[in-house]
Amino acid sequence: MAARAQVLIVDDDPVVGQTFARMLTVSGYQVAVVHSADAAIAEAFRQAPDVILSDLRMPMTDGMGLLTRVRRDPRLREVPVAIVTGDHFLSDEFLGELRSYGAAIRFKPLFMTDLLELVEGLLDSTGGRDR
């Protein structure tokens, strides 16, 4: 199977990160998993991702903080980002702010078909590539 797009998963819960990674890896994606926004930025500079999937609620810098850093950096600003959260009680104002930064928003749990549709949709939205 030819390697497909590079997906960067950012989640402070290692179980969630590894679960998502397994689902994407068996579908042919190249996946990196990190557990903080700082590690995500470092990884993105090391290996440019085609897609970033980030948890929202993380210690130190949360998913919104990561999203704003990505959008401000000329090397990363075009990378599609999805915020994946278990917080089903986000305000409409906050959801609007996430969308204003161009982020897709999905709620946990995500099943394999949901995750694959999310990644494919993000790749399609930017003319994503198979590698």
- Which of 19, 31, 33, 26 lies closest to 1, judged by CA? 26
Tell me if 121 is assigned to some domain. Answer: no
Q: State which residues form the domain around 19.
A: 6-110
Tell me if 102 is assigned to some domain. Answer: yes
Tell me if 91 is assigned to some domain. Answer: yes
Tell me if 80 is assigned to some domain. Answer: yes
pTM for the model: 0.91
Q: Which domain CATH number covers 11?
A: 3.40.50.2300
The total domain count for the chain is: 1
Would you state the pLDDT for residue 130? Answer: 42
Tell me if 89 is assigned to some domain. Answer: yes
Ramachandran region of residue 90, left (φ > 0), alpha (ψ -120 to 50) or beta?
beta
7 pLDDT band (50/70/90 cuts)?
A: very high
Tell me if 44 is assigned to some domain. Answer: yes
74 CB neighbour count, 10 Å cutoff: 6
Residues 65-84: tens digit of each pLDDT: 999 999 999 999 999 999 99
Tell me if 106 is assigned to some domain. Answer: yes
3 pLDDT band (50/70/90 cuts)?
A: low
Tell me if 120 is assigned to some domain. Answer: no
Peptide bond into 80 cis (omega under 30): no
